[in-house]
A and B are shown apart, each in its own frame.
Chain A
Amino acid sequence: MDFVKSDNLVYDYKTYNEQSEIVTNRAVDGLDIVIPKGQFIAVLGHNGSGKSTFAKHINALLLPTDGKITVNGLDTSDEKNIWDIRQSAGMVFQNPDNQIIATIVEEEIAFGPENLGVPSDEIKKRVEDSLLNVNMAEYRNSSPMALSGGQKQRIAIAGVLAMHPDCIVLDEPTAMLDPIGRRQVINTLLELNKQGITIILITHYMEEACLADRVAVFDKGKLVLDGTPKEIFRQVERVKELHLDVPQVTELAHLLREKGIPLPDDILTIEEMTAELEKAGIKKTDIKPEKEDGYTIPETLIETENLTHIYGKDTVFESVALKNVSIKIGKGELIGLIGHTGSGKSTLIQHLNALAKPDEGRVLLGGFDINSDKTKLKEVRQRVGLVFQYPEHQLFETTVFKDVAFGPKNLGLDDDEIKKRVKASLEAVGMSEEYYEKSPFELSGGQKRRVAIAGVLAMKPEVLVLDEPTAGLDPYSRDEILGNVKKFHDDLGITVILVSHSMEDISQIADRILVMNKGSVEFFNTPRKVFSHVKRLTEIGLNAPQISLLMDMLNDKGAGLPRDIFDTNTACEVLYRSLTGVEK
């Protein structure tokens, strides 16, 4: 039976421009899609492709401008159906903090059934069942705010489950989570799907889409690709054209096929790839690792000496965030900083510009102890720029230009210099002059973020720390920002420290990778060296790049490949040699 059926669905957003004229923006443009009951469908598409707008139609939060959509056989534009539709198609949103209403987990889950007028005894039963279903029963009396992101999202799912829905629509539920939280949420969804609940998952993560029964790709408000994950991702070129990612192994298989290796074109997982490569006759060759890349660490610019930081010292809440961290970062290096939530990476970066004070140890910038002289704080903060997570949330001025000028103004520079710096920084993040006089609040998510980064760049820092600059962005905006970072690092010679959850992002651009675990340094070395410890990385809850995992699995089966490969091109070369015996 069809659960969702849209027929030439059209939706226009109407906004007012500066002249108070109505501007229409077509978000969904003649969409025809049928989603049968019980399906797990992943909806992909870059920002502005209309996928969120579509999701809100399923819940009757938005009503079609034209065309028609039925949910569970009910027309959403008929007002008397609204509550039945919202009960049968529950919705989970991106930001866990902004959808939690109550201060106790139990009451949060009870909110939906309370609205439906379910009797109290029945509500209690439903709350209990829903908590068990998402594996959160032990937290029933906790405050939702004290939970991790992944747990919060599972509470949100439980809140929907308690309404006994037939379908759950999730609008990028994992975008703000770390890899562990993401896995928790996805496993919960797979489990619920097994119980017969239709899952409509909007996501940017291809590894999540690979787990679905079906993948639908949106572009410009239309459905452009539709099929099983295998059917979609085998079209490597087309998917990339739509600014989406392809799983690394799929891409690797694609590259090897182009070189004439007979591999199937629909490989999605590491296991499949390993099996196929074995079938293709990977020999037990002994390819020596390439020579050491001979990376030499430049002269030290910023370093920490036995840095220790304890939160809530001498109270019952005492927790050690950093213990004995000693690192040296060279001038002009691009450092990738990685670690799961609570590994101490955020605390560490706040020490680098004296926003946090060490309990023990020192932070040295060019040999100067930054906490030794309070009058130099301003100077330290100018020399070490810090871009926080979701930096677009700190924009406040009326125009892009003024906002970026805020930092230089605080430094007391003259107007000419300010102008010069603003221009240079906006250029460095790829924002052209037409945006200068626009309100920062009118820009798209990715653009806002680039403006915010420019705001810190305009301080002309020697060291720039970026805390998860790509969080919550679609693959296209993500690549743009990473490209910007790489470019201004190369052009301006700034030392950059890039914090990220994504190994794949970092591995492509970092000179060295610093891996934090439980407040200590686990690894601090070149990407090749770090990724050769795949097993340890997985153990401490980090996602190693798929390619590293593949190499590891092949080696476990005795393939004798070098362990320090993490990118598709090198992997392709090495595997080609191993399969054919031919050099290059």
Chain B
Amino acid sequence: MNITIGQYYPTNSLIHKLDPRIKIMGTFLYIAAVFIAKGFAGYLLCTLFLAFVVKLSKVPVKMLLGGLKPILVIIVFTMALNIFFTGGKDVLWQYGILKISVQGILLAVKMTVRLILIVMGSSVLTLSTTPIQLTVGMEYLLKPYKKIGVPAHEIAMMTSIALRFIPTLIEELDKIRKAQTARGADFDTGGLIERAKSLIPLLVPLFVSAFRRADELAMAMEARCYRGDVNRTRMNELVMQKNDYLALFALLVFVFAVLILRLVWGI
């Protein structure tokens, strides 16, 4: 069985090879930049920067647009809200409290562009970084906060084990479903309560199995001398390369440019 988790798009690009820390920080910086931008010049700059990164990442634009599908409803809703409820002086059409104005339309377009840019920007991160790299990156970024009690290593370890076991449990669920179907179980008909009840023969075995697996895995980890983050090393330490510094520099220049546009020209 072949189950992909997240939406990683495997290819060999400059963006794919970047340090996950840079990509995670970059995504946050980009989102900040989108919020800083106020006028169309700022949005244009953000769009161009995203286009440049997408081009470098070799991820097909179709996949990026596909990432917008789940939030289509939100986009439409935001647009409608802004068009109808923004008070503006150049009213074009009015019906009760619903009012369409030039300012409203402009705001709606801006908000929509902002939303689309943010979603597409973060999609580049998940499309170009494996879930495991993401957790490693997070672990490194959270390390400084360990002193104030953030369990960085534990969070990362739990996440990566969860990622590792998702396909296993999906497969298991499929097997249990088939087995109960063979015993005459019916999961597709009946009212809401009946359907919820019909899940018991699926969920109980799944949980029992998950606990059993957790138990065995814990033992296997202990047997291999796992003792948390004590005196632990890594085979692949994250080390910043020339390209990572370049990327960081490019990001800072971009954010700075957006900031200047906003502060100096107010656009």
Partner of B183, one of A93, A104, A116, A406: A406
Asked whether any CB of chain A lies closer than 8 Å to the CB of B184, the reply is: yes
Hey, which chain A residues are within 8 Å of B205, CB to CB? 393-396
Contact of B184 among A83, A396, A459 (CB under 8 A): A459
Chain A residues in 8 Å Cβ range of B234: 110, 114, 120, 123
Say yes or no: is A59 at the interface (Cβ < 8 Å to chain B). yes
Chain A residues positioned under 8 Å from B179 (CB to CB)? 386, 388, 391, 393-394
Task: Kindly list 8 other residue pairs between chains A and B, CB separation below 8 angstroms, not including A90-B224, A100-B164, A411-B184.
Answer: A86-B223, A107-B132, A114-B232, A114-B235, A353-B182, A388-B175, A406-B201, A455-B183
Q: Min CB distance, B106 to chain A, in Å?
A: 45
Assess A61 versus B183: contact at CB under 8 Å? Given A86-B224, A393-B205, A396-B201: no
Is A396 a contact of B200 with CB atoms below 8 Å? yes
When distances are taken between beta carbons in the complex, the residues of chain A under 8 Å from B216 are 93, 95, 98-99
The answer to the question of A367 belonging to the interface, with a C-beta cut-off of 8 Å to chain B, is no
Q: In the docked arrangement, what's the CA distance between A86 and B220, Å? A: 11
Point out the residue from B2, B200, B236 that lies within 8 Å of A317, measured CB to CB: B2
Q: How far is the CA of A378 from the CA of B180 in the complex (A)?
A: 12
- Which residues does chain B contribute within 8 Å of A111, judged by CB atoms? 221, 224, 226
In Å, the complex CA distance between A407 and B209 comes to 21
**How far does the Cβ of B69 sit from chain A's closest Cβ, in whole Å?**
21
With A99-B216, A393-B205 in contact, is A112–B182 under 8 Å at CB?
A: no
A124 and B235 contact, CB distance less than 8 A? yes
Among B181, B183, B208, find the residue whose CB has the most chain A CB atoms closer than 10 A.
Answer: B183
A355 to B185, alpha carbons, bound, how many Å? Answer: 13
List, in ascending order, chain A residues with CB within 8 A of B224's CB. Answer: 86, 90, 111-112, 115, 159-160, 163
Interface size class of A (residues with CB under 8 A): 35 or more
CA distance A386 to B2 in the complex (A): 25
Q: How far is the CA of A90 from the CA of B220 in the complex (A)?
A: 10
Interface pair B132/A381, CB less than 8 Å apart? no
Q: What is the minimal beta-carbon distance from A286 to any residue of chain B, in angstroms?
A: 51
Cβ of B219 under 8 Å from chain A: yes
Binary contact readout B165-197 vs A (1 if CB under 8 angstroms, 0 otherwise)? 001100010011011111111100000000000
Q: Given the complex of chains A and B, what is the CA–CA distance between A355 and B227 in angstroms?
A: 44
A81 within 8 A of B: no
Distance (whole angstroms) from the CB of B159 to the closest CB of chain A: 11
Q: Distance in Å from the Cβ of A180 to the closest Cβ of chain B?
A: 21
CB–CB B164/A101 < 8 A: yes
Among residues of A, the one whose C-beta sits closest to the C-beta of B224 is A112
Q: Does B233 contact A (CB under 8 A)?
A: yes
Known: A90-B223, A115-B224, A355-B178. A103 touches B164 (CB 8 A): yes
A178 on the B face (CB < 8 A): no
**B217→A394 contact, CB < 8 A:** no
Q: Are A87 and B183 in contact (CB under 8 A)?
A: no
Residue of chain A at shortest CB distance from B175: A388
Looking at A104, A112, A396, the one whose CB has the most chain B CB atoms below 10 A away is A396
Q: Which residue of B lies closest to A461 (CB)?
A: B182
A294 at the B interface (CB under 8 A): no
Contact B164 A61 (CB under 8 A): no
Q: Does B222 contact A (CB under 8 A)?
A: yes
Is A193 in contact with chain B by the CB < 8 A criterion? no
Distance (Å) between the CB of B152 and the closest chain A CB? 16
Q: Are B233 and A87 in contact (CB under 8 A)?
A: no
Find out whether the CB atom of A116 lies under 8 angstroms from the CB atom of B225. Answer: yes
Residue picked from A102, A145, A350, A378, most chain B C-beta under 10 Å? A145
Q: Is B250 an interface residue (CB 8 A)?
A: no
Q: List 24 A-B contacts (CB under 8 A).
A: A56-B219, A61-B222, A83-B227, A86-B224, A97-B168, A102-B160, A103-B130, A107-B132, A110-B235, A114-B232, A120-B236, A123-B234, A353-B182, A381-B181, A381-B182, A381-B184, A382-B184, A385-B182, A386-B182, A394-B176, A406-B180, A410-B186, A456-B182, A459-B183
Residue B231 CB within 8 A of the other chain:
yes
- Which residue from A61, A120, A394 sits with its C-beta under 8 Å from B237? A120
Cα-based distance from A53 to B213 in the complex (angstroms):
18
